[in-house]
Structure 1
Amino acid sequence: MRTDEKPDQREGRWSELARPYMTRTRHWLFGGTVAVYAAIVLGVLTTSWLVTLDWQIMLFRPYKQWPDIHAFLDYFVVLGQRGPTAVAVAAWLLWRCWRQRNLHPLLVLGVALLMLNVTVGAAKIGMGRLGPHYATTIGTNEMGLGGDIFPSGHTANAVVTWGVLAYLATTPLRRRILSVVAALGALGVGMTTVYLGTHWVSDVLLGWAAGVLVMLALPWCEPGMAWAEARLMAVFWRLRDRLGGAPRPVPVPASPAGVTAGAGRRAVAEDGVLVREPAVAGGRQARAPEAWPHHPARPHTARSERTPVTPSGSRRPPHADRAPRTAPVTTTVRGRSQGS
């Protein structure tokens, strides 16, 4: 899956989120999932082999065949309940919003849950299928009888709620790993509902497809979420300014173009905010006392005040075979001086 990693420059903050966008692969996956969704619905409406499989597993009564794991699966199925899972994931994403100084994680969760409730809720009410515990006639599809079991809300909710964490992952590798974990966990929650006798197998398969469709459609909502986030953050800063809060961070361009030597060219990142180091006279940067390196202050003297150092004696190193050089002997021959 390709990602678009770009900095978020709102209020000087820089985000490392790799936000997905609709690629050709996503389009193909979306179209294939729609086809699977339609095939499952058609198979149930026409009372195909899928309905026969539903009844076979229901009459097998797995909760009576393996009663030892019943207590554990009663707790495990909570991973698909909308209330507890939404609260847990929202708490984690709220912390991420505070760290990244933006509302994107919470907006993704809110939009995903909104699409899930609208699409899955409409399908449940529209098809009105009864669950295994309320089935009336063996071998029928139990459609249009006022039920709300098709597709499985537990399965679709597990796909979306835990899939949001994969969607918001900051690296492609983490996103793939979390996507697989969320998909398998959601399928496990769905099979648990089949074990407990609250859903048909076809309910679980359709719920899994419904959740995947929501996750694949999320990139289409990114422009709307960016629009909403910009306006919500503007309202937040306006209220904070009125209440006399701390001043908002000033954005600093990453490029040092246009910065003079005396203005301090070095910019450092502190908790995601670009902060330029102050400058002092003469173009030298002012370092904080705790800044690296830790060197004690030393006095400096001007060049004219320093004591001159001159070499004394010969600069040539001594040698054992070399005779020491002596001063030349001067003799006078016929009125002229001649060195010997």
Structure 2
Amino acid sequence: MAFAGTGPLDHRLLAALYTADRPAMRGAVIGITNLGSWPVLVTLTLIGLGWLLYRRQVRLALLLLATTLIGRMLADLLKLGIGRHRPQDEVHLVTVRDLSFPSGHAANTMIVFLSLALLVAPPRFRHLAVPVALFGTGAVGITRPMLGVHWPSDVVGGWAFGAAWVLLMLGLAERLGQADTAGFNSQGREQ
């Protein structure tokens, strides 16, 4: 369904989540969705890069940079390749300019938040950082249909792509012997 359009479940979920008739909620939803904007994600990535470089973890800094930048480009290429249009029955409550699937906010917050949790957070805090990252990306993603700019399946697709991309990049780094410095041994267990 992602390639050809949306199904009845997407339409029902979008109608249930849409906040145009709840103006008191709309401001909070827009504030949360802005956490997934490119300026915020770039700022968080730069802070993570700075911290890793300060700690002289250059390989991890390069891995963070590659994961976030290449992931962003791939999500944009997926949008172009799939070509799904955004919902048109509802008024878009924020400005959007590109195609719909996958949700860039969902994909990019998953990539940045999960990468920060796994690469930047100290190993002893990762058991807390990962759930916080998933909660954050979940909150940002759910705002997209609430604002009428994405189908729910766009958001799920963005989350899935973002998580798969981060795990693929970490797996490749581990194979190349770079993940040991991330606080994991070769079996993926925390040191």
- The TM-score normalised by the length of structure 2 is 0.77
Name 1:52's counterpart in structure 2.
8
Task: Output the CA distance in 1 between the equivalents of 2:29 and 2:177.
Answer: 37
Secondary structure, aligned partner of 2:149: coil
**2:57 pairs with 102, 115, 120, which one?**
102
**1:91 pairs with 33, 43, 47, which one?**
47
The 1:176/1:84 distance shift into structure 2, 3 A limit, reads: same
State the AA in 1 paired with 2:130. S
Name 1:166's counterpart in structure 2.
117
**1:155 pairs with 106, 110, 130, which one?**
106
Unaligned runs of 5+ in 1: 1-42, 136-146, 227-340
**In percent, how many aligned pairs have the same letter?**
28
Secondary structure, aligned partner of 1:63: coil
Structure with the higher helix share, 1 or 2: 2
State the AA in 1 paired with 2:79. K
Secondary structure, aligned partner of 1:88: helix
Task: Output the CA distance in 2 between the equivalents of 1:45 and 1:128.
Answer: 8
Name 2:68's counterpart in structure 1.
113
Q: Equivalent residues in 2 for 1:108-257 (5 A)?
A: 108-133=63-88, 148-168=99-119, 169-171=121-123, 173-219=124-170, 220-222=172-174
Could you give the per-residue CA deviations for residues 184-210 of structure 1, whole angstroms, max 9, x where no partner exists? 211111110110011100000000000
State the AA in 2 paired with 1:80. G
Shift in Å at residue 104 of structure 1?
2.9
Contact 1:97 1:104 in 2 (8 A): no
Secondary structure, aligned partner of 2:19: helix
Structure with the higher strand share, 1 or 2: 1
Contact 1:163 1:179 in 2 (8 A): yes
Contact 1:151 1:206 in 2 (8 A): yes
Verify: 1:82 aligned to 2:38, yes or no.
yes
State the AA in 2 paired with 1:166. A
Higher relative contact order (CA 8 A, sep 6+): 2
State the AA in 2 paired with 1:181. V
The 1:114/1:92 distance shift into structure 2, 3 A limit, reads: closer
Shift in Å at residue 223 of structure 1?
6.3
Could you give the per-residue CA deviations for residues 212-263 of structure 1, whole angstroms, max 9, x where no partner exists? 011111220356695xxxxxxxxxxxxxxxxxxxxxxxxxxxxxxxxxxxxx
Contact 1:163 1:183 in 2 (8 A): yes
Give me the CA root mean square deviation. 2.5
Shift in Å at residue 72 of structure 1?
1.6
Contact 2:19 2:26 in 1 (8 A): yes
Unaligned runs of 5+ in 2: 91-97, 179-191
Q: Equivalent residues in 2 for 1:34-53 (5 A)?
A: 43-45=1-3, 51-53=7-9
Contact 1:160 1:211 in 2 (8 A): yes
- The TM-score normalised by the length of structure 1 is 0.45
State the AA in 2 paired with 1:170. P
Task: Output the CA distance in 2 between the equivalents of 1:60 and 1:170.
Answer: 40
Name 2:187's counterpart in structure 1.
none
Deviating 4+ runs (over 4 angstroms)? 222-226
Task: Output the CA distance in 2 between the equivalents of 1:60 and 1:218.
Answer: 36
The 1:105/1:221 distance shift into structure 2, 3 A limit, reads: closer
Secondary structure, aligned partner of 2:85: coil
Secondary structure, aligned partner of 2:99: coil
